[in-house]
Structure 1
Amino acid sequence: MLVNYHDPRHVYIVCGNTDLRKGIDTLAILIADNFGMNLYDDSIFLFCGRRNDRFKGLYWDGEGFILLYKRFENGILTWPRTSEEVKELDDQQINLLLKGLNPLPQPKVHLAPKGAFY
């Protein structure tokens, strides 16, 4: 069965680096223990390692877990690295991610008003 990333009700990315050598059981424990999230709630959880050209996904299809792996031949991901949290993606962000583009908005830059000195 192929998984359409838009079919599940929720698509989450796990921010930070995840060791992509981990398999289904370890990734499931990571979600359940570290974030207290329900693995069986029609959700895909996406993980990225140190290399920015691939990610893994974990999905419960009602009968068992599916481990997804995507590697980009051209392009890299801009994955949120600074925080250890889970963020939900909307349809537009999923499309960006699958094209190898940054799915999350960049932080806003706040400029000082003209003439202000800090």
Structure 2
Amino acid sequence: MLNDFRGAEKVYIACGYTDLRKGIDGLATLVQRQFHLDPFSNTLFLFCGYRRDRIKGLYWEGDGFVLVYKRLEAGAFQWPRNGDEARQLTGQQYRWLMEGLKIEQPKAHKAVTGLSMI
């Protein structure tokens, strides 16, 4: 389900470690208080524990929250551990994360913001 999730307009990941014992209410409160984001928006919020082999996803479906839990049988997610921030992912970064890759690929083509003439 998470590998090809397309229901959300945006995807945010909670960088750093999250206590995965938290349930829907605890994660929704974390989104509101720590990240100052709206858990009731059309957004998928992803959280990762210390061992990096499990993630939880929180998503508002309009009439209630969906809580998704994924545990890898082998390997670990390449989760950013630098701080307690929420980071918005592009569609490509989300696919990389679900494929076990880092969300910043040094050899990926970078977006061009302006053209310079040489």
Runs of 4+ more than 4 Å apart: none
Q: Does 2:19 match 1:19?
A: yes
CA contact (8 A) 2:48 2:79 kept: yes
Residue identity over aligned pairs, in percent, reads 47
CA contact (8 A) 1:6 1:91 kept: no
- Which of these two proteins has the greater Rg computed from alpha carbons? 1
Q: Does 2:55 match 1:65?
A: no
- What is the TM-score normalised by the length of structure 1? 0.81
Alignment of 1:18-37 (within 5 A): 18-37=18-37
Counterpart position of 2:52: 52
- What is the TM-score normalised by the length of structure 2? 0.81
Aligned amino acid, residue 15 of structure 2: C
Partner secondary structure for residue 96 of structure 2: helix
| Structure 1 unpaired stretches of 5+ | 107-118
Tell me how many residue pairs correspond in the alignment.
Answer: 105
Q: Aligned partners of 2:25, 2:104: CA distance in 1, in Å?
A: 27
| Structure 2 unpaired stretches of 5+ | 107-118
Q: Aligned partners of 1:70, 1:30: CA distance in 2, in Å?
A: 19
CA RMSD across the alignment: 1.6
> Aligned-pair distance for 1:98?
1.4
Which stretch shifts more, 95-104 or 54-63? 95-104
Q: Aligned partners of 1:57, 1:30: CA distance in 2, in Å?
A: 13
